[in-house]
Amino acid sequence: MQLTRFAHACVRFETPEGRVVVDPGAFSGTDPLADADAVLITHLHFDHLQPDALRELRRKRPDLAIYGPPSLAEPLGDLAFTAVRNGDVVEAAGLSFAVVGEEHAVIHRKIPVIENVGYLVDGVFHPGDALTVPDAPVSTLLAPVSAPWLKLGEAADFINEIGPGRVHPIHDALLSDIGTNVTDTILGGLIGAEYVRLGVGESVTF
């Protein structure tokens, strides 16, 4: 299994059997969707979901499988998808993605909390916009490091509670180059895991 990191919170899992893209949002463009066989969405926020891009891809690939929480029905409209909830399993590209979690992290008491699911595959966990701790072991955590709903100390505590062997930071489009360096330096010193930043388009193989 190969993992490729794209901008912000978007990643692609690739095996000899196909490609699965997670959270191809507005900040990641449409390149991650090239030749995608399945798309997994964690929640309906624009930085994780591009309905028009998915419609265009479905026109080219009628067999494209799309998965996400039930609340995606509103932004996707007549674009068919499979609703998934905590405890479900998605089979795609020869991989089994366990669906983990139910709610987005709290942004502010005045902003309603929406649905959010994470995806765990072969020990690699993408939590979406939440600090959900899976029941199953996590060897590699794709950790959100910058968001309106997140403090850096919370990110460190989340990582340490999960206890992965390796962390690849994601959800960082709001950071400047200086902010990225500061974030990486602080988090790298607070966690007990190997901290490895992947550049856009960079891949690792599991």
What does the pLDDT look like over 1-50, one tens digit per residue?
A: 999 999 999 999 999 999 999 999 999 999 999 999 999 999 999 999 99
Q: What is the mean pLDDT of the chain?
A: 97
- In the beta sheet, which residues pair with residue 170? 144
30-44: burial string, b at 16+ Cβ within 10 Å, e else: eebbeebbbbbbbbb
What does the pLDDT look like over 143-182, one tens digit per residue?
A: 999 999 999 999 999 999 999 999 999 999 999 999 999 9
Residue 124 is predicted with a pLDDT of 98
- The CA-CA-CA angle for residues 71, 42, 134, to 5°, reads 115
Q: Domain with 107 in it: what CATH number?
A: 3.60.15.10
The total number of structural domains in the chain stands at: 1
Q: How sure is the predictor about 84, in pLDDT bands with cuts at 50, 70 and 90?
A: very high
Residue 16 is predicted with a pLDDT of 97
- DSSP alpha helices (H): ranges in the chain? 51-60, 73-76, 152-162, 177-190
Residue 206 is predicted with a pLDDT of 93
Domain that holds residue 192: 2-205
**How far apart are alpha carbons 19 and 35 in whole angstroms?**
7
